Structure 1
Amino acid sequence: MDPDAVRAGSRVPHGGESDRELLDFSANTNPFAPDGVEAVYADALERSRRYPDDDYREFRAAAGAFVGVHPDQIVPTAGGLAAIRLAIELTLEPGDRALVPTPSFGEYAREIALQGARPEYVPHDAVLETEDAVLEKCALAIVCTPNNPTGEAIDPDALTVFVERCRHAGTPLLVDEAFLGFTDLQSAATLDAEHVIVVRSLTKLFGLPGLRAGFAVAEDEYLEALETARRPWSLGTPAASVGAYCLEQDEFIRETRERVASERKRMREALETRFDVFPSDAPYLCCDVGDQDVEAVVASARERGVAIRDATTFRGLDSHVRVAVKDRERNDRLLAALEVDDAVERDS
């Protein structure tokens, strides 16, 4: 990390509501966790009187099976963001350029800047069409699938072509799959590409964002570098144990995907009576409020007990909000707070 860049840096706003009296739709997390996590956590907490086993064999095995790679390709990290930072630290030096989608997760640009490097912004829906000459000038390219905050997942065939183009350009590629677990799409980790680093977050899909569990996936040189650079005991014993347990809960994952897909469709149809809504494959919807005042929309929902995300904090968005997709009961409360409840099709 570049010391001068750190001194000039700043924090990035995120979703997440501190007021426990409000229903939080500003953070895109599952409202449910798998049955049994409490017992797994309690057992792990007792075992936390010792340092974790730094090999993390159980966690690596579960994570490898989840994304379809060998366990030895898994690098445990304290959440997806820790994996993103690790990958950026390993690939960028002061003065480098990095290809960054926009609008997208604000931490990409921040982490790049902390290295003394410079983001090269490209519209998120045009990243895969980046010209070869631009790719060749970049020391790293980043894609996010599904993109945050807009929600579209990248077509796997198109991503495979882009992976090959990055290989020819000599440009490492960071693929952020923080929300891909909400879909049944295949991970880019299975593409057998030594220049690709994939990062995953467990805590969104399994409704445990405070647990801080995630991992990176890589091969060959980057795998060795990530494993060398990661901190010792990079996951606490509770995070490693609960994470491994959650990754094996196939029925919970299947039910979550079905619920999110169904509720997302229903919510989008309702929200489109008031806003323009992006297509989404993710557990959230990005809405353009048009000539309505974003602050007023956010404040009005808040007065009705619901927190939503002011998406104007994302680069390139100036009239947008983002809302999570949860379960039917909570989603109905959101729609009511946004005054679109009359459009909701209710069961008879």
Structure 2
Amino acid sequence: MDPDSMRTGVRVPHGGDPDPTVLDFSANTNPDAPAGVEAVYERALEESRRYPDDEYPAFRAAAAEFVGCDRASVIPAPGGLAAIRLATEFSLEPGDEAVVPYPSFGEYAREVRLQGAKPRFVRYDDVCDLGPSVLEAASLAIVCTPNNPTGDAVALDDLEGLADRCATAGTTLLVDEAFLGFTDLPSAVGLERENVIVARSLTKLFGLPGLRAGFAVACGEQREALETARRSWSLGVPAARVGAYCLRRDEFVRETRERTARERDRLREALERRFDVHSADAPYLLCGVGEDDDRTVESVLEEASREGIVVRDARTFRGLDSHIRVAVKDREANDRLLAALNVSDSKASEEGE
């Protein structure tokens, strides 16, 4: 990490409200967690009197089975963001350039800058079409799938084409799959390219964002470098034990995906009566508010706040100037959101007739 960049860098805004009394739609986490995690955590807490096994065999095995890779390719990390930092530390030196999508996760540009490198911002839906003139100048290219905050997933064929062009250009491709687990889409780990690093987050899918567990997947020389560079004891015992347990809860994952798709469709149909809603594959929806005398982003945030609900002010994302983002939760919570935003659910009304 570049010391000068550390001195001049700034933190970026995120969703998530620490107030337990509000209904938080600003953070895109599962409202449920797998049954049994409390008991697993309690046992792990007793084991925490000793250092973790730094090889993390159970965690690596569960992660490898979940995404479909060799267990040796899994690099444990305390959250997906830690995996992203490890990838940028490996790929970038001061003065380098990195392709950063926008609007997208704000930490990408921050992590690039912390290495003393320069972000080259490219529309998120144009990144997979980049050619040699851009890629040859970049040491790193980043793709988020599904993209945050728009929710679009990238087709694996498109990622494969980009990975091939990055390889020719000598560019590392970082694929952030923080929300891919909410879908049944295949992971980029299946490309098995030595220039591709995949970052995964566990805790969004399993409703435990405070646990901080995730991993990177890489192969070849990149895998060796990341494994060498990762911090010793990179996961605490509770995070490793609970993470491995959650990754094997196939029925929970299936039910989560089905509920998310069903509720996302219902929310989108209702919200479209008032907002310009972006179609998504993710557990969140980006809503264009528009600006007029009667409705602004501030007024919508205030409407929700009066009902004890927090939604994300998406103007903090580069390129967005009149948007909010709302998470997809369970039916009861989603109904509260719709009521707070003065939007009726026609399906619910018809069922009540």
Q: Which residue number corresponds to residue 338 of structure 1?
A: 341
Q: Map 1:216-231 onto structure 2 (within 5 A).
A: 216-231=216-231
Q: Map 1:76-225 onto structure 2 (within 5 A).
A: 76-225=76-225
Q: Which residue number corresponds to residue 275 of structure 1?
A: 275
Cα distance, 1:342–1:214 mapped onto 2, change above 3 Å:
closer
Q: Which residue number corresponds to residue 330 of structure 2?
A: 327
Distance 1:294 1:29 in 2: 22
Q: Map 1:28-39 onto structure 2 (within 5 A).
A: 28-39=28-39
Q: How many pairs were matched up?
A: 348
2:95 aligned counterpart, secondary structure:
coil
TM-score, structure 2 normalization? 0.97
Q: Which residue number corresponds to residue 58 of structure 1?
A: 58
1:137 aligned counterpart, secondary structure:
coil
- Deviations 1:105-136, CA, capped at 9 Å, x for gaps: 00000000011100000001111111211011
Distance 2:221 2:140 in 1: 15
Distance 2:20 2:193 in 1: 44
What runs of 5+ residues in structure 2 fail to find an aligned partner?
none
The letter of the residue matching 1:98 is A
Contact 1:273–1:343 (CA<8 Å) still a contact in 2? no
- Deviations 1:49-98, CA, capped at 9 Å, x for gaps: 00000000000000000000010000000000000001001110000000
Q: Map 1:255-334 onto structure 2 (within 5 A).
A: 255-291=255-291, 292-334=295-337
TM-score, structure 1 normalization? 0.99
What runs of 5+ residues in structure 1 fail to find an aligned partner?
none
The letter of the residue matching 1:271 is L
The letter of the residue matching 1:103 is P
Q: Map 1:3-18 onto structure 2 (within 5 A).
A: 3-18=3-18
In the TM superposition, what is the alpha-carbon distance from 1:342 to its structure 2 partner? 5.0
The letter of the residue matching 1:206 is F
The letter of the residue matching 1:253 is V
1:256 aligned counterpart, secondary structure:
helix
2:254 aligned counterpart, secondary structure:
helix
The letter of the residue matching 2:309 is V
Distance 2:196 2:61 in 1: 20
Distance 2:220 2:131 in 1: 27
The sequence identity of aligned pairs, in percent, is 67
Distance 1:233 1:131 in 2: 40
The letter of the residue matching 1:254 is R
Contact 1:298–1:310 (CA<8 Å) still a contact in 2? yes
- Deviations 1:212-266, CA, capped at 9 Å, x for gaps: 0000000011101111111000000000000000000000000000000000000
2:253 aligned counterpart, secondary structure:
helix
In the TM superposition, what is the alpha-carbon distance from 1:343 to its structure 2 partner? 4.1
Distance 1:247 1:89 in 2: 27
1:247 corresponds to 2:238 = no
In the TM superposition, what is the alpha-carbon distance from 1:344 to its structure 2 partner? 5.1
Distance 2:180 2:120 in 1: 24
The letter of the residue matching 2:199 is V
Distance 1:344 1:83 in 2: 41
Distance 2:55 2:306 in 1: 48
Distance 1:114 1:26 in 2: 26
Q: Which residue number corresponds to residue 43 of structure 2?
A: 43
Structure 1 residue runs of 4+, over 4 Å off? Answer: none
The letter of the residue matching 2:37 is V
Further displaced range: 139-148 or 165-174: 165-174
Contact 1:29–1:209 (CA<8 Å) still a contact in 2? yes
Distance 1:323 1:344 in 2: 20
